[in-house]
């Protein structure tokens, strides 16, 4: 098996018709199960006047089952005093772990799983690491955070050995020492890590450091063009990954043509963000997820607020599960003085200024439509001789990108990094 | 199901000898240490007995305050909780992540926090008193003991000593290390560690850069062997 390209060849290349049959079987088991046990699902379905008996096929489910939003979960949690927002289908004591989302955009949402060896959230990720080339006996540099569970389980499932050293803020100089010593084949990177690696690259031969790598995964926020180019210049093949509606994770394969959603684990839909109708493959839509393998807190038609493009076409790698491309978060679009833009527009602009090329910034936005464009920007104090000059150049590139002159708050990068949470810097903040 | 199929695929692969590699500071210098799967299993068994002594049982709720790089010390504790049927959550060790510990303590029926450090205790701010009031048993790192005690808590000690973990039993009369795995020595108030068991990582008299005092002899909990009182 170590010579095989796929971790689970049969499942990863399951014909679509078989995949659909498998999903239908699981959905028809799930529907009566959650209706009986999940207080939030029961409430939403009663409001929509839908009963389990109305659902006799996958098509019935996607046509009739009501959506659940993060606001629904929070509202139920606050009204009922239920920490799980009505999602828990068992007693608390049936759970093995309770973990939570990063909390970047608000109060973190809790999810529970039951397991006895490997954490279910990361189980399918073993397929993704295997595709990158992680094999038994390889070392893998661990991920810095555990709030979603131990990612190193996926590494151990591949037979690999996790290097459990810090890759958090300020720790990359020592992480490079671990890389040199153990020669890992893979690591998990974030935007905050890239800012630090960018600085270290001025005094370190990064091509030599990363020479053992088969790939590095990147998540938490969009990967800027400059950061990608920089990693590639160090010989690192980057695999973008993201969450699939808080059910599991989805990674790029070696084709780098979308993130693979594991559809034996999650029913993935893409719907119109406004009216909830299905959108065609390739069109922009909101990711909707239903858990197919979590009996503790299954999500049922959960609207993730993630805007994606999705396709069910088989991938060039030979896998058949759906792929998607994360585009942004619903509501990220901002209108200032009649000009519309998304945070990525500012990201690309800042990459053009050497002192702000790590693109650490926050759009300060009390509402979606604003009169004044306020941007908090991190700069590299080591590269900056004259702050007024940096301010002028940053204003210029943002003006060119967005069409509006910004009001800038320039902060040294370490100060801005300190506002990060869970490996991520919130790009849109209210104050 | 996905978990079942991936677990089966993983089981078909050759398992390496090592569970993982960690790193600790020994007298200010970084030292790497390898943990075998057999080491991890024995560490888990020891942690399970310690948690059980503190009253952790099926249905108890735990928050383990630790970060991924601390997995060599704290994963055995988490796995032990899992084996005892006690749901656990992880509160990260960064100050900006203290909100997560507070959130779990506020919303879940938590009976123990294991491993709280000063950073998180201070990061809790005004919520610290509420956390101490809600959670009956708290295991804290040496740097947080006096802060928590001053706030009305009665924490037991949880300490990383080089590659070893030391944990006080409910007697709170010095922290136990697993004597089958490790031996401590004290010279001039400084602690030194040696490997006693068949571990992948073998050391002899390694200076830990930690000060403390050793107690020999049986503890009222029934354990024999060394206990350590660590200077904060």
> For every residue of A65-78, which 3-state class applies, written as one string?
CCCEEHHHHHHHHH
Is the pLDDT reported for residue A2 higher than 90?
no
Q: Give a three-class secondary structure readout of chain B.
A: CHHHHHHHHHHCCCCCCEEEEEEEEECCEEEEEEEEHHHHHHHHHHHHHHHHHCCCCCCCEEEEECCHHHHHHHHHHHHHHHHHCCCEEEECCCHHHHHHHHHHHHHCCEEEEEEECHHHHHHCHHHHHHHHHHCCEEEECHHHHHHHHHCCCCCEEEEEECCEEEEECCCCCCEECCCCCEEEEEECCEEEEEECCCCCCCCCCEEEEEEEEEECCCCCCCCCCCEEEECC
Q: What is the mean pLDDT of residues B89-105?
A: 89
What is the tens place of the pLDDT at every residue in B47-82?
999 999 999 999 999 999 998 999 999 999 999 999
Which residue, of A294, A311, A329, is where some domain finishes?
A: A329
Phi-psi region of A208 (alpha: psi -120 to 50; beta: other; left: phi over 0): alpha
DSSP structure class, residue A424 = B
Task: Give B197's pLDDT tier (boundaries 50, 70, 90).
Answer: very high
* Nearest CB to B10; choose among A99, A147, A157: A157
Count up the domains in chain B and report the number.
Answer: 1
Residues of B in contact with A127 (CB under 8 A): 6
Residues of B in contact with A292 (CB under 8 A): 1-2
**Which of B33, B36, B34 is closest to B24 using CA atoms?**
B33
Q: Are residues A216 and A133 in the same domain?
A: yes
> CA A218 to CA A101: how far, in whole Å?
17
Q: What percent of chain A has pLDDT over 70?
A: 98
**Which chain A residue is nearest to residue B89, measuring alpha carbons?**
A98
Residues of A in contact with B7 (CB under 8 A): 117-118, 123, 157
Is the Cβ of A4 closer than 8 Å to some Cβ of chain B?
no
How many CB contacts within 8 angstroms connect chain A with chain B?
181
* Nearest CB to A96; choose among B20, B75, B87: B87
CATH of the domain at B51: 3.40.50.12780
Residues 297-336 of A with CB under 8 A from B: none
B152 lies in some domain: yes
CATH of the domain at A77: 3.40.50.12780
**A146, A180, A260, A290, best to mutate vs chain B, most B CBs in 10 Å:** A146
**Which of B35, B86, B60, B217 is closest to A164 using CA atoms?**
B35
Task: Show the domain range for A187.
Answer: 120-236
Is the pLDDT reported for residue A422 higher than 80?
no
Is the pLDDT reported for residue A423 higher than 70?
no
Task: Give A421's pLDDT tier (boundaries 50, 70, 90).
Answer: low
Is the Cβ of A80 closer than 8 Å to some Cβ of chain B?
no
Q: Are residues A63 and A135 in the same domain?
A: no
What is the tens place of the pLDDT at every residue in B141-153?
999 999 999 999 9
Q: Are residues A45 and A151 in the same domain?
A: no
**Which chain B residue is nearest to residue A184, measuring alpha carbons?**
B21
Is the pLDDT reported for residue A222 higher than 80?
no
Q: What is the mean pLDDT of residues A110-116?
A: 94
What's the pLDDT at A146?
Answer: 79
Q: Are residues A280 and A361 in the same domain?
A: no
Rounded to a whole number of angstroms, the distance from the CA of B151 to the nearest CA of chain A is 27
When the pLDDT of each residue in chain B is averaged and rounded to a whole number, the result is 95
Residues 239-298 of A with CB under 8 A from B: 248, 262, 264-265, 292-293
B38 lies in some domain: yes
B214 lies in some domain: no
What is the tens place of the pLDDT at every residue in B162-174?
999 999 999 999 9
Is the pLDDT reported for residue A104 higher than 70?
no
Lookup result for tokens 């971790």: A7
Residues of A in contact with B108 (CB under 8 A): 83, 92, 98, 110
The pairing of strands B175-176 and B164-168 is: antiparallel
Q: Can you give the C-alpha Rg of chain A in angstroms?
A: 22
B138 lies in some domain: yes
Rounded to a whole number of angstroms, the distance from the CA of A93 to the nearest CA of chain B is 4
Task: Give A106's pLDDT tier (boundaries 50, 70, 90).
Answer: low
Instruction: Enumerate residues 6+ apart whose C-beta is below 8 A from A91.
Output: none
Rounded to a whole number of angstroms, the distance from the CA of B217 to the nearest CA of chain A is 35
Angle between helices A125-132 and B2-11 (to 10 degrees): 40
Cross-chain Cβ contact A165/B22 below 8 Å: yes
A269 lies in some domain: yes
Residues of B in contact with A418 (CB under 8 A): 96
Is the pLDDT reported for residue A234 higher than 70?
yes
B150 lies in some domain: yes
Cross-chain Cβ contact B14/A159 below 8 Å: yes
Helices (H), A95-135: 120-123, 125-132
What's the pLDDT at A424?
Answer: 67
Instruction: Enumerate residues 6+ apart whose C-beta is below 8 A from A361.
Output: A346, A347, A350, A375, A376, A377, A378, A416, A427
Count up the domains in chain A and report the number.
Answer: 3
B194 lies in some domain: no
* Nearest CB to A1; choose among B5, B13, B18: B13
DSSP structure class, residue A146 = -
Is the pLDDT reported for residue A103 higher than 80?
no
Is the pLDDT reported for residue B96 higher than 90?
no
**B12, B15, B18, B20, best to mutate vs chain A, most A CBs in 10 Å:** B20
* Nearest CB to B87; choose among A92, A146, A159: A92
Task: Give A430's pLDDT tier (boundaries 50, 70, 90).
Answer: confident
**Which of A82, A68, A15 is closest to A269 using CA atoms?**
A68
Token reading at A387: 């702050």
* Nearest CB to A93; choose among B71, B87, B99: B87
Q: Are residues A68 and A111 in the same domain?
A: yes
Task: Show the domain range for B156.
Answer: 16-169
CATH of the domain at A410: 3.30.300.30
Write out the DSSP string of A13-52: T--HHHHHHHHHHHHHHHHHHHHHH-HHHHHHHHHTT--G
Residues of B in contact with A18 (CB under 8 A): none
Q: What is the mean pLDDT of residues B124-136?
A: 95
Q: Are residues A165 and A202 in the same domain?
A: yes
A374 lies in some domain: yes
Q: Are residues A65 and A82 in the same domain?
A: yes
> CA B206 to CA B157: how far, in whole Å?
22
Is the pLDDT reported for residue B113 higher than 60?
yes
What's the pLDDT at A203?
Answer: 94
CATH of the domain at A180: 3.40.50.980
Residues of B in contact with A261 (CB under 8 A): none
> CA A204 to CA A200: how far, in whole Å?
6
Residues of B in contact with A99 (CB under 8 A): 89-90
What is the tens place of the pLDDT at every residue in A19-73?
999 999 999 999 999 999 999 999 999 999 999 999 999 999 999 999 999 999 9
- Among A70-74, A425-429, B22-26, name the one with the lowest average pLDDT: A425-429
A2 lies in some domain: no
* Nearest CB to B20; choose among A127, A137, A162: A162
Task: Give B225's pLDDT tier (boundaries 50, 70, 90).
Answer: confident
Is the pLDDT reported for residue B124 higher than 60?
yes
Is the pLDDT reported for residue B232 higher than 80?
no
Which residue, of A204, A236, A268, is where some domain finishes?
A: A236
Residues of B in contact with A109 (CB under 8 A): none
Cβ pair A112, A84 in contact under 8 A: yes
B191 lies in some domain: no
**Which chain B residue is nearest to residue A292, measuring alpha carbons?**
B1
What is the tens place of the pLDDT at every residue in A350-381?
989 999 988 889 999 988 889 999 999 999 88
* Size of chain B, expressed as the number of residues it contains: 232
Residues of B in contact with A422 (CB under 8 A): 92, 97
> CA B216 to CA A202: how far, in whole Å?
53
Cross-chain Cβ contact B13/A264 below 8 Å: no
Rounded to a whole number of angstroms, the distance from the CA of A247 to the nearest CA of chain B is 12
Lookup result for tokens 């529970």: A112
Cβ pair B208, B162 in contact under 8 A: yes
Q: How many CA atoms lie within 13 A of A392 on its CB side?
A: 4
> CA A246 to CA B128: how far, in whole Å?
29
Q: What is the mean pLDDT of residues B203-225?
A: 94
A3 lies in some domain: no
Q: What is the mean pLDDT of residues B103-128?
A: 95
* Residue A397 three-state SS: helix
What's the pLDDT at B29?
Answer: 85
Is the pLDDT reported for residue A225 higher than 90?
no
When the pLDDT of each residue in chain A is averaged and rounded to a whole number, the result is 92
Angle of CA points A251, A254, A258, to nearest 5°: 45
Is the Cβ of A180 closer than 8 Å to some Cβ of chain B?
no
């Amino acid at each position: 098996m170590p010579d095989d390209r796929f971790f689970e060849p049969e499942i990863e290349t399951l014909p679509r018709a078989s995949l659909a049959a498998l999903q239908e079987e699981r959905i028809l088991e799930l529907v009566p199960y959650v209706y009986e046990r999940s207080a939030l699902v029961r409430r939403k379905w009663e409001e929509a006047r839908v009963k389990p008996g109305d659902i006799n096929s996958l098509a019935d489910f996607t046509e009739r089952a009501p959506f659940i939003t993060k606001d629904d979960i929070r509202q139920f949690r606050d009204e009922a005093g239920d920490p799980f927002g009505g999602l828990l289908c068992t007693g608390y004591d049936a759970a093995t772990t309770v973990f939570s989302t990063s909390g970047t955009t608000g109060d973190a949402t809790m999810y529970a799983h039951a397991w006895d060896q490997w954490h279910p959230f990361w189980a399918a990720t073993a397929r993704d690491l295997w595709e990158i080339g992680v094999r038994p006996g390889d070392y893998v540099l661990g991920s810095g955070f555990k709030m979603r569970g131990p990612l190193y389980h996926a590494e151990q499932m591949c037979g690999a050995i996790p290097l459990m050293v810090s890759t958090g803020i300020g720790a990359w100089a020592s992480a490079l020492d671990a890389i040199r010593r153990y020669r890992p084949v893979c690591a998990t990177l974030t935007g905050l890590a890239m800012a630090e690696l960018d600085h270290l690259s001025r005094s370190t031969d990064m091509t030599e450091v990363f020479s053992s790598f088969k790939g590095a995964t990147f998540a938490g926020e969009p990967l800027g063009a400059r950061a990608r180019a920089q990693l590639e210049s160090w010989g690192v093949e980057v695999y973008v990954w993201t969450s699939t509606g808080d059910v599991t994770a989805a990674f790029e394969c070696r084709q780098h043509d979308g993130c693979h959603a594991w559809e034996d684990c999650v029913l993935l839909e893409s719907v119109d963000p406004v009216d909830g109708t299905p959108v065609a493959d390739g069109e922009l839509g909101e990711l909707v997820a239903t858990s197919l393998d979590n009996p503790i807190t299954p999500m049922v038609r959960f609207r993730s607020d993630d805007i994606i493009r999705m396709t069910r076409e088989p991938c060039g790698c030979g896998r058949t599960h759906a792929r998607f491309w994360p585009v942004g978060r619903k509501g990220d679009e901002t209108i200032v003085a009649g000009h519309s833009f998304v945070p990525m527009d500012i990201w690309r602009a800042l990459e053009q200024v050497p002192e702000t090329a790590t693109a650490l910034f926050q759009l300060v936005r009390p509402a979606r439509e604003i009169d004044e464009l306020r941007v908090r920007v991190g700069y590299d104090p080591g590269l900056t001789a004259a702050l007024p000059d940096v301010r002028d150049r940053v204003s210029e590139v943002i003006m060119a990108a967005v069409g509006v002159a910004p009001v800038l708050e320039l902060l040294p990068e370490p100060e801005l990094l300190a506002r990060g949470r869970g490996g991520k810097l919130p790009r849109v903040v209210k104050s | 199901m996905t978990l079942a199929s991936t677990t089966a695929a993983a089981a078909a692969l050759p398992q390496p000898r090592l569970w993982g590699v960690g790193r600790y500071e020994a007298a200010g210098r970084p030292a790497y240490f390898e943990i075998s799967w057999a080491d991890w299993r024995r560490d888990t068994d020891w942690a399970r007995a310690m948690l059980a002594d503190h009253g952790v049982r099926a249905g108890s709720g735990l928050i383990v305050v630790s970060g991924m790089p601390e997995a060599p010390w704290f994963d055995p504790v988490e796995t032990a909780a899992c084996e005892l049927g006690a749901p656990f959550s992880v509160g990260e060790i960064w100050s900006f992540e203290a909100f997560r510990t507070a959130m779990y303590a506020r919303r879940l029926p938590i009976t123990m926090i294991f491993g709280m450090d000063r950073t998180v205790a201070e990061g809790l701010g005004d919520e610290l008193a509420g956390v101490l009031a809600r959670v009956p048993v708290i295991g804290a790192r040496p740097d947080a003991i006096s802060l928590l005690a001053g706030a009305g808590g009665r924490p037991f000690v949880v300490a990383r000593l080089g590659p070893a973990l030391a944990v006080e039993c409910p007697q709170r009369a010095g922290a136990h290390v697993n004597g089958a795995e490790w031996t401590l020595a004290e010279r001039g108030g400084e602690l030194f560690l040696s490997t006693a068991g068949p571990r992948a990582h073998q050391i002899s008299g390694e200076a830990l850069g930690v000060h403390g005092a050793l107690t020999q002899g049986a503890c009222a909990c029934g354990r024999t062997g060394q206990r350590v009182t660590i200077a904060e």
